[in-house]
Copies of this chain bind each other. A is one copy, B any other.
Amino acid sequence: MKNSLLFEVLAEPKRRLILDHLRQKERSVGELVALSSLSQPGVSKHLRILREAGLVGVRKEAQKHLYYLRAEPLAEIDHWLEPYRRFWSDKLAALERQLDEEE
């Protein structure tokens, strides 16, 4: 999955909400429907996209499909951020220096 697609997948707020819920524990589709103010088809569609992005996995237990978080692809975002990090940390360092001077 390309970086660009990953950003697009995460741009949708409801999908980030689903990921947040899965961070705590695996959830069935029904549970996610209850948690998300989305219709069941809506949740299923988002889950498909998240699955194709590698961000969730499924485990089937009877009729229930239990979705769990697979956060590894997020490391790509982390990697993308890397060259930018020094910019805001520089700014923070500058701010800290300034605050020190004011004391």
- CB of B91 within 8 A of CB of A72, answer yes
Q: How many residues of A contact B (CB 8 A)?
A: 25
On whether A81 and B87 interact (CB within 8 A), knowing A7-B10, A7-B16, A8-B11, the answer reads: no
Encode A13-36 as 1/0 by CB contact (under 8 A) with B.
100100100010000000000000
* This chain's copy number in the assembly: 2
State which residues 13-61 of A face B: CB under 8 Å: 13, 16, 19, 23
- CB of A81 within 8 A of CB of B78, answer yes
Interface, chain A (partner B; CB < 8 A): 4, 7-8, 10-11, 13, 16, 19, 23, 69-72, 74-75, 77-78, 80-81, 83-85, 87-88, 91
